[in-house]
């Protein structure tokens, strides 16, 4: 049941009536992912995340996503929340392990969800992979890319009569780095630079998925890559070189192949297979480019010690060290709040990729804060939407903005300790309560129309 809004949420009006106007066609939405909200583990095949969370010590609060927000059973209530918010679009992910469950009957859930969204006037925007790989598969195997394309064809066939906007992958950078290089996420490998094939195979999977979607008649296809400006800790050449390297790993390695059809210098030769041929697939044109943005990163030369940062432990032998950005607020996760870095990121993309950059959609932006009267989240979102508008004014073709996230949910290795939702979810009862930020976003959307 949706509890009535918190007093602040009911009475909140847009605190920023002078908010700049966005184009009429601008797409406003919110994002979630299957593993983080659905629950209903018995109605899907297992994923690498089920195995990972069952291992003691992997998830900080010892929790699992077995129930999560029970969205699988409460999706109608959640679609009502989306309708109340007044968003144009809802970005969710299709769980690959659910899609293949019971000979494909697991896809019935997405049929129902998409119908409900369409009936509520909310455009469904599925992401086809958001980290919950079926446990029988492995991104170290090249064949997983081909298997992904097969699965994508099945989903497109099933939902393509109602879905008109698609996202292939979510954040292959994090899935590679956290899941396969550092071991902080599933499947928990610590391969460091030997994890690079995981990046290549996901990028290949993206290109094959674009082809599969087009073959099924789909258009309006993008990818959701995470990006953020990298700032050197100082102008010292060792710090600048370390920051440049970090920028290659986090930004260019995932954007250049998709947008330019090439890897940054020195990377292609580290990748497996016929890289030149694969790059032609990876660079299959997309209709728009999705950017998940949270924060910039300050990077310096290695310090020879392990570093704890934003919930991660980074080994001492990395060729860079992540440093705190001083003098800015931080979220409950310890992530710096720097809205102007979003403008910098977008204008930087425009400079680097020029006419090769298709229209951009911010596919995720948000922050973790406790509380239902979440004024800190409102300040974060307000600052970032304004920063986005400045990028538009500077000539970057941005077409949409999705808040992460609709609901407080299972934040991977942090368990339920981090709350990113516009809607509070009670961990015991699963009762939903819209926060002050829900009302703020609703009022912003109303003011834009
Ligand atoms: O919760 C995640 C999401 O799954 C991917 N992008 C970042 C979010 C916040 O950490």
CATH fold, domain 9-447, is: TIM Barrel (3.20.20)
Q: What is the mean pLDDT of the chain?
A: 95
- 284 among known catalytic residues: no
Tell me which residue has tokens 């210098």: 265
408 Cβ below 6 A of ligand 1: no
User: Ligand 1: distance of its center to the CA of 411 in Å?
Assistant: 7
Q: Which of 38, 43, 116, 171 is catalytic?
A: 171
Tell me which residue has tokens 């996760």: 333
Best residue for ligand 1 mutational test, from 33, 226, 418 (most atoms within 8 Å of Cβ): 33
pLDDT in tens, 293-350: 999 999 999 998 998 887 788 899 999 999 999 999 999 999 999 999 999 999 999 9
278 Cβ below 6 A of ligand 1: no
- Whether omega before 4 lies within 30 degrees of 0, making that bond cis, reads no
pLDDT above 60: residue 8: no
pLDDT in tens, 78-105: 999 999 999 999 999 999 999 999 999 9
- 171 among known catalytic residues: yes
What is the per-residue pLDDT for 11?
A: 40
Q: Look up the pTM and report it.
A: 0.96
Spatial separation of the C-alpha atoms in residues 56 and 16, rounded to whole Å: 46
Choose between 313 and 395: higher pLDDT.
395
Percent of the chain with pLDDT over 90: 92
What is the per-residue pLDDT for 16?
A: 55
Best residue for ligand 1 mutational test, from 59, 173, 174 (most atoms within 8 Å of Cβ): 174
Beta bridge partners of 134: 47
Percent of the chain with pLDDT over 70: 96
Choose between 309 and 436: higher pLDDT.
436
364 Cβ below 6 A of ligand 1: yes
Q: Which of 67, 96, 89 is nearest to 409 (CA)?
A: 67
For residue 348, CA distances in Å to 173, 248, 262, 354, 391 come to: 19, 14, 18, 10, 10
What is the per-residue pLDDT for 425?
A: 98
pLDDT in tens, 228-242: 999 999 999 999 999
Q: Which of 43, 174, 364, 411 is catalytic?
A: 364
pLDDT above 70: residue 112: yes
368 Cβ below 6 A of ligand 1: no
What is the per-residue pLDDT for 156?
A: 98
User: Ligand 1: distance of its center to the CA of 397 in Å?
Assistant: 24
Of ligand 1's atoms, which has the minimum distance to the CA of residue 130? 4
pLDDT in tens, 119-172: 999 999 999 999 999 999 999 999 999 999 999 999 999 999 999 999 999 999
Spatial separation of the C-alpha atoms in residues 16 and 406, rounded to whole Å: 21
User: Ligand 1: distance of its center to the CA of 276 in Å?
Assistant: 31
Nearest residue by C-alpha to atom 10 in ligand 1: 411
pLDDT above 60: residue 5: no
| Dihedral (Cα; 115, 118, 119, 122), 10-degree rounding | 130
Mean pLDDT of 357-383: 98
What is the per-residue pLDDT for 309?
A: 81
171 Cβ below 6 A of ligand 1: yes
Nearest residue by C-alpha to atom 2 in ligand 1: 411
65 pLDDT tier (thresholds 50, 70, 90) = very high
**DSSP-based three-state secondary structure for 336:** strand
Spatial separation of the C-alpha atoms in residues 187 and 197, rounded to whole Å: 15
Contacts of 116 (CB under 8 A, 6+ apart): 75, 76, 79
Nearest residue by C-alpha to atom 4 in ligand 1: 33
What is the per-residue pLDDT for 13?
A: 45
Instruction: Label residue 261 left, alpha or beta by phi (over 0 means left) and psi (-120 to 50 means alpha).
Output: left
33 Cβ below 6 A of ligand 1: yes
pLDDT above 60: residue 383: yes
Domain layout of the chain by residue ranges: 9-447
Q: Which of 293, 393, 327, 401 is nearest to 29 (CA)?
A: 401
- Whether omega before 405 lies within 30 degrees of 0, making that bond cis, reads yes
């Amino acid at each position: 049941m949706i509890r009535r809004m918190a007093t602040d949420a009911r009475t909140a009006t847009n605190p920023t009536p002078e908010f700049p106007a966005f184009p009429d066609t601008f797409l406003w939405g919110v994002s979630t992912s299957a593993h983080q909200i659905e629950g209903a583990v018995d109605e899907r095949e297992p994923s690498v995340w089920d195995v990972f969370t069952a291992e003691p010590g992997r998830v900080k609060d010892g929790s699992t996503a077995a129930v999560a927000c029970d969205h699988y059973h409460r999706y109608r209530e959640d679609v009502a929340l989306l309708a109340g918010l007044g968003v144009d679009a809802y970005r969710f992910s299709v769980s690959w392990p659910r899609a293949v469950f019971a000979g494909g009957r697991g896809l019935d859930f997405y049929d129902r969800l998409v119908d409900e969204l369409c009936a509520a006037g909310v455009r469904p925007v599925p992401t086809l992979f958001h980290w919950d790989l079926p446990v029988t598969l492995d991104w170290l195997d090249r064949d997983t890319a081909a298997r992904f394309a097969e699965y994508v064809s099945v989903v497109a066939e099933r939902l393509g009569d109602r879905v008109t906007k698609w996202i292939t992958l979510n954040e292959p950078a994090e899935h590679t780095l956290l899941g396969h290089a550092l071991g902080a996420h599933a499947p928990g490998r610590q391969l460091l630079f030997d994890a690079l094939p995981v990046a290549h195979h996901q990028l290949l999977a993206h290109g094959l998925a674009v082809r599969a979607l087009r073959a099924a008649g789909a258009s309006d296809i993008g990818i959701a890559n995470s990006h953020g400006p990298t700032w050197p800790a100082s102008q010292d050449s060792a710090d600048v070189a370390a920051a440049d390297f970090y920028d290659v790993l986090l930004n260019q390695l995932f954007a250049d192949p998709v947008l330019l059809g090439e890897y940054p210098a020195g990377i292609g030769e580290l990748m497996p297979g016929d890289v030149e041929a694969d790059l032609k697939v990876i660079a299959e044109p997309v209709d728009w480019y999705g950017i998940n943005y949270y924060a910039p990163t300050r990077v310096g030369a290695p310090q020879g010690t392990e570093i704890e940062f934003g919930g991660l432990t980074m080994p001492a032998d990395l060729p860079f060290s992540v440093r705190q950005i001083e003098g800015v607020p931080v979220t409950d996760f310890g992530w710096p709040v720097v809205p102007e870095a979003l403008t910098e990121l977008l204008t930087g993309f425009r400079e680097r990729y020029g006419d090769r950059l298709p229209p951009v959609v911010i596919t995720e932006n948000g922050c973790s804060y406790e509380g239902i009267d979440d004024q800190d989240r409102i300040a974060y979102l307000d600052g970032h939407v304004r920063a986005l508008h400045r990028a538009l004014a500077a000539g970057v073709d941005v077409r949409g903005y999705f808040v992460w996230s609709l609901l407080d949910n299972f934040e991977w290795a942090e368990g339920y300790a981090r709350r990113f939702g516009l809607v509070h979810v009670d961990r015991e009862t699963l009762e939903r309560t819209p926060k002050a930020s829900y009302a703020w976003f609703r009022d912003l959307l109303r003011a834009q129309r």
